[in-house]
Amino acid sequence: MTTLLKSAIIIDAFSPYHKQTKDILINDGIITKIDTNIPKKDGYQVVELDNLHVSTGWFDTSVSFGEPGYEERETLRHGIQVAAKSGFTDVAINPNTSPIVDNKSAVEFLINKVNGSATNIHPIGALTQRSKGIEMSEMYDMQQSGAIAFGDYNKPVSNDNLLKIALLYAQNFDGLVLSFPKNNSIAGEGVANEGKNSTLLGLKGIPALAEEIQISRDLFLLGYTGGKLHIPTISTAKSVQLIKEAKKKGLNVTCSVAVHHLFLTDDELHGFDANKKVTPPLRTEEDRNALLKGIQDGTIDIITSDHSPIDVEHKKVEFSTAKDGTIGLESAFGALNTLLDLETMIKCLSNNPRERFGLDKITIKENEKASLSIFNPEGDYTFSEENIISTSKNSVFLDKKLQGKVYGVFNNNQLVLNS
């Protein structure tokens, strides 16, 4: 198949065509020519779209689907279509299914289920058996079957020695360990950020300290053991500072932030909308600004949607009893596009996550594989249910003003566009 992208503005700091408007010719999934004007020919699949922009394919490092076990929330096949139409060529799948992804058979099931799709999936294996935090999982076997990292989704490793052993053991095969930043003893039964708003609303609070003390512990352990540590979805100003200091000391640590923590604060909770109940909780404006600064100065490496579909039965309930989580694939670009310049966004959505999680490096030039996200950064709109492709509709961004349009992806010699 031959595909021709006409008048595409290329956003790729590693490409010789960065910020240039070019035609891109793709034959059998490989970029064969980039030039100012490539003539159309019979049989070409031609893409001509308003203000067409392309970048290297986006990689979301924290995506949950339902299957297996919670197919009513999202199936793998439909979820992969959602990811593609949201601009993501690659997604890392969290292990929070039923059964938990804690062995090589479970990893292989995920990969084989959607093999050949436009969007690639990369399973994250559970760090501990059944994500119970008691015994270490079969990490090496899972990596041999395709797992790219190991962590218990939204569950902290409370056992200090277990995390120490995991960091030591993973070094034998260059494994990446994830440690969710939450101290359950301090967080207790909290459901919202501890502060002015939780007090006014009568909601049990989760102190920022619950995140920061866990990160401090993780960094001390990493300094002792060595190895590779990734801290997902940080949310406080102090967390940014702790990781910044650790990097200066030479520790091999990275971190991510969820889009909603860059965009929203706990002021959103006054309507008791359970869609706004997420983990970690939405924090303060001071925290939000510190996170944005952390993106700009390179302390925060990766941005994720932290996509987590929850069925209506577990969201249309009282705030304190609702399940945590928001979908985020469809709204990720539109939200980030209101906050960040395109180069910074692409670095945190593509280059940095690919490098940290061990995916092949890609760039937009001739004789390279075409792995492209396709979008238009212009145009404001209000995000509504009409913009949601996911089976579950639990979006924290409903009724928010976003900017830009994702057209889709070209990856694995397949073009997927929004209708």
Report the distance separating Cα 62 and Cα 126, nearest Å: 13
Position 369, amino acid: K
pLDDT tens digits along 164-187: 999 999 999 999 999 999 999 999
Q: For residues 39 and 134, state if they share a domain.
A: no
**Any domain includes 323:** yes
Average pLDDT along the chain: 97
CATH number of the domain to which 250 belongs: 3.20.20.140
* pLDDT for res 419: 73
| Structural domain boundaries, residue 49 | 2-53+367-379+398-417
Q: What confidence tens digit (pLDDT) does each residue in 184-211 have? A: 999 999 999 999 999 999 999 999 999 9
Does 203 reside within a domain? yes
Same domain for 38 and 97?
no
Please check whether residues 39 and 181 belong to one and the same domain.
Answer: no
6 vs 374: CA distance, rounded Å: 12
Do 80 and 12 lie in a common domain? no
Tokens of 28: 């059998």
Residue 385 within any structural domain of the chain: no
**Do 158 and 277 lie in a common domain?**
yes
* pLDDT, position 65: 96
Pair (183, 296) in one structural domain: yes
Phi, psi of 53 (to 5 degrees): -120, 145
One domain, residues 130 and 268 = yes
In a domain, 99, yes or no: yes
What phi and psi, each to the nearest 5 degrees, are found at residue 394? -80, 75
Residues labelled as active-site residues = 306
- Residue 193 located in a structural domain: yes
Task: State the Cα–Cα distance between residues 302 and 348, nearest whole angstrom.
Answer: 5
Judgement on whether residues 38 and 66 belong to the same structural domain of the protein: no
pLDDT for the residue numbered 1: 86
- In this structure, what CATH number is given to the domain that contains residue 16? 2.30.40.10
Domain assignment present for residue 388? The answer is no
| Residue 224: both structure tokens together | 């002792």
How many Å apart are CA 240 and CA 363, to the nearest integer?
Answer: 29
Residues 373 and 323 in one domain: no
What string of H, E and C letters represents the secondary structure of the chain? CEEEEEEEEEECCCCCCCCCEEEEEEECCEEEEEECCCCCCCCCEEECCCCCEEEECEEEEEECCCCCCCCCCCCHHHHHHHHHHCCEEEEEECCCCCCCCCCHHHHHHHHHHCCCCCCEEEEEECCEHHHCCCCECCHHHHHHHCCCEECCCCCCCCCHHHHHHHHHHHHHHCCEEECCCCCHHHHCCCCEECCHHHHHHCCCEECHHHHHHHHHHHHHHHHHHCCEEEECCCCCHHHHHHHHHHHHCCCCEEEEEEHHHHHCCHHHHHHCCHHHCCCCCCCCHHHHHHHHHHHHCCCCCEEECCECCCCHHHCCCCHHHCCCCEECHHHHHHHHCCCCCHHHHHHHHHHHHHHHCCCCCCCCCCCCECCEEEEEEEEEEECCHHHCCCCCCCECCCCCEEEEEEEEEEECCEEEECC
Instruction: Please report the pLDDT score of residue 4 as a whole number.
Output: 98
Residues 274 and 178 placed together within one structural domain of the fold: yes
Q: Are 163 and 250 in a shared domain?
A: yes
Interatomic CA distance for residues 397 and 90, integer angstroms = 22
Q: How many domains does the chain have?
A: 2
- Tell me how far apart the alpha carbons of residues 321 and 206 are, in angstroms, rounded to a whole number: 15
Inside any domain, residue 262: yes
CA proximity to 339, closest of 326, 349, 351, 350: 349
How much is the pTM?
A: 0.97
- Same domain for 29 and 109, yes or no, is no
136 within a domain of the structure (yes/no): yes
Contacts of residue 402, Cβ cutoff 8 Å, sequence gap at least 6: 331, 334, 335, 337, 338, 380, 381, 382, 383
Residues of the chain with pLDDT under 70: none
